[in-house]
Every structure is written in structure tokens, then in C-alpha cells.
Amino acid sequence: MFQTQINMVKKKLSVYDLKKLKGKKQISEVFVNNEEEAIAAEEAGIDIITAAYGMPQFGFNATLEDIERIRKVCPNTHLMSAPPIFSYASSYEAIKSSYSLLSIGIDSVYTANSCKWIKEITSEKIPVISHVGLIPSQVTWLGGFRAIGKTAIEAKDVYYHTLSLQDAGVFAVEMEVVPKQIASFITKNVDILTISLGSGSDCDGQYLFSQDILGTYHGKYPRHAKVYRKLIDDFESIQKERITAYKEYILDVNNKKFNDPSISVDIDKKEYELFLESIKN
């Protein structure tokens, strides 16, 4: 009931709505891994929810069916997704994959492909969010996972890359691990939205992964991650309780403790005697 009431009053932000927020309100964006996180994000009031599928190389093991289920549980929040990286080899295939997402109700599509391809995708009125700065799928060209834009030459490259993506028709870019001064300058000098991942508070919005916010990651957290809870400890505690409960169950099975009247059914003594009598012959 509570979720239904929230959904009734919360307005899903369209691309048009999001663009109007530039310079007026900080946009919140989170990556979710499952339906439970999506429900919580919508009820909390997150502006953009992101969910990816078919990218095990980046630790995302969801399927397209999982994305459909996530869409159903957060119907009143802008949902972004992406065709699996390296699953298409032409702008035509990228457009086809994007349409498959739009057909299940996805509101915008992420891609870090070339401006040439992106221009062809956006020419079909497919809403696109792209990426500048540290782009995980391109780290071999960057020398690993590091800040991008700490030199004047790199900062200039990030700026002109953003302008090129703007010209290609994207409505927003994720700006990952770019010095906050550069991110601030770019944000003020482009018309599209800039969403920060470790690039300071002067972008048009902030983006974090649920595993960072909720503290569910087993390894080392990225430097730009901000952890608000440590649910991994709770999950480990719950798992220990699961094991203990199963052991107690096995013990009860072995000790034949399932004749307890609260969980078993008796037959009236007279009826039982009639039963025995009836099967003598």
C-alpha cells in the first residue's frame, strides 16, 4: 500500500523535464542491481535509476528479463539502461538494441560509442546519455583506472569530447573522475547535463552505484565512492543465521520433533480405531 501511494504522487522525469533542471536542481542517479534496490530508490525519490544487463566483465550479471522486472517495480522513475557493451558492431545494431530497450519502457539509453554512431542513434530520437573522463570500457587507452583531466592537455580533451557529444545529440554525459574545477567549467559552458562520478558537486547531478551507497561490495571501494551503510555486515550475519537455522532444522529432523500438535494433525481415537478395523479384511 505504501509503495502504491508513493507511486501515485511521484512524477517520472522525462528527458524534457531533466533538461529543464540544469542549473536549478541537483539530479540524483543511482545504479541498481535488483528489484529490491529499485523499489527503495523510487520510494526514496531518486531522479534517475540505472540498470545494466549482459555485462559480466563489469560484474553486472542481470538479464534483459531482470531489466523488465526492474522497470515494472519503479514505474514512476526515469530508468536508463544500455545494450551490452561489445554486443553490437554498427550503428544499425546499436539502434536496434536501443529500440529493444525502449520497447520495454526504458526511458534513455547509455552508450560510450563514437560521436559518429551516437549521431545516427540520436537522429532516430533515441534519448542518449554518454560518458567522458574515465570511461571504464576504454581504460586500455587511458593507462588504467585513473583521474582524467589533471593536465591542461587532458582537460582540453575532456572539454572538447563533451562538446562533440553535445553536437552528436546526447542530452547528458556521465563525467567520471575529472578534476572538479574542470568539471565545473565544462558544466557551465555546455547545454547538456553533466552527471558527476567523482567529479565534484558543480556538475548538474551526482551518480553512485548502489553497492557503494549501501556498502554491499566485498572488495576495495573506488576513491570517489561514498558509503552510507555497511549492509555487507548485515548480509553476512543473515547468512550465518541461515546456516544455523538449517542446522537446527536437521537436528529436529533427526530427533523426530515433528509430532508437535502445533504443526501436525491428529485423528480422533475412535476414527483411528475404525480405520484399523476397516483395513483388516
What is the pairing mode between strands 205-209 and 108-110?
unpaired
Residue 29 CA to residue 258 CA, distance in Å, equals: 50
Q: Which of 154, 176, 236, 248 is catalytic?
A: 176
Residues 6+ apart with CB under 8 A from 54: 60, 62, 63, 64, 83, 84, 87
Q: Is 248 a catalytic residue?
A: no
In degrees and rounded to multiples of 5, residue 215 shows phi and psi of 65, 50
Q: Which residues are catalytic?
A: 176
